[in-house]
């Protein structure tokens, strides 16, 4: 299982990675492996303003549907529309092509409050 050393994590298995002034958000490799074959992703709208830990989407697999929560407050600036036709990208590359959204954070200090890779690794054991 892959853990992105540059990302920070929520206990609900979402990750955030700082990339310049934006944060890329997705679900962890651990989460996608628990869900197994992902068949559908519900995305938010661009310009949606969301609070930390607010529901922003749904990931459905052959096993179950799982709500997806925002690791830090911000405004959605980009959504990964490739997931609409190829939701399996999350299974194939959770930290790369399987990213879900990009946001402009309201409070960048919230990122520091998330679990780092070592803390997340310990959490999922």
pTM for the model: 0.95
Please give the residue range of the domain that contains residue 11. 7-124
pLDDT at 46 over 90: yes
Res 1: pLDDT:
81
The answer to whether residue 43 sits within a structural domain is yes
Compute the half-sphere exposure of residue 18: CA atoms within 13 Å on the CB side of its CA: 14
The answer to whether residue 62 sits within a structural domain is yes
- The pLDDT > 90 percentage for the chain reads 96
The answer to whether residue 1 sits within a structural domain is no
The answer to whether residue 48 sits within a structural domain is yes
CB atoms within 10 A of CB 63: 12
pLDDT tens for 89-103 read 999 999 999 999 999
The answer to whether residue 113 sits within a structural domain is yes
The answer to whether residue 2 sits within a structural domain is no
Give the domain CATH number at 55.
2.40.50.100
């Amino acid at each position: 299982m892959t853990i992105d050393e540059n990302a920070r994590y929520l206990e609900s298995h979402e990750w955030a990675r700082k990339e310049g002034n934006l944060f890329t958000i997705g679900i962890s490799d651990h989460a996608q492996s628990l869900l197994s074959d992902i068949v559908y992703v519900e995305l938010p709208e661009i310009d949606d303003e969301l609070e930390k830990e607010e529901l922003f989407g749904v990931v459905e697999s052959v096993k179950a549907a799982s709500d997806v929560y925002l690791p830090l407050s911000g405004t959605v600036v980009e959504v990964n529309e490739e997931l609409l036709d190829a939701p399996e990208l999350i299974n194939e590359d959770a930290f790369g092509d399987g990213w879900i959204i990009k946001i402009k954070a309201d409070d960048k200090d919230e990122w520091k409050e998330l679990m780092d890779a070592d803390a997340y690794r310990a959490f999922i054991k």
